[in-house]
Structure 1
Amino acid sequence: MNGLYRPRRDRVIAGVCAGLARRFGMTPWTVRILFLLSCLLPGPQFVVYLVLWVMMPNEDRHMAAAR
């Protein structure tokens, strides 16, 4: 099941990092660490996270759309 969605399990805050990890074949903790390290650099990391939180569908909606 490929696609960009926020899973119900493996969430820490909103599931954005877990969803990105599933989509790109990484572990959720790797993506979380990369996100935290990127926060040391200037840029819109938090804004991108918030936009993904709003735009990425939950796993339930993703599964319903796939049917």
Structure 2
Amino acid sequence: MKTFFKILVFVLLTIYVLFYGFISGAFGGSGIAGYRANIGDYIIVYGLFIFYGVLFVRFLYRNRNRK
């Protein structure tokens, strides 16, 4: 159950980062890195996706080995 909450927090945080970065960036706000949805935002977002991909694969692998 704890793992589920961790995943939920991660997902909510990611959605917040995506929203804050891209939406405010697209409408001329500050965005994440201070530009308008510029290269910094894409680096951060792709970094997050890779990070979550690795976490997810490790999570699946660990659960499969537990059985």
Give the TM-score of the pair, scaled to structure 1: 0.38
Name the structure with the higher helix share: 2
Which structure is larger by alpha-carbon Rg, 1 or 2? 2
Give the TM-score of the pair, scaled to structure 2: 0.38
Greater relative CO, 1 or 2 (CA 8 Å, sep 6+): 1
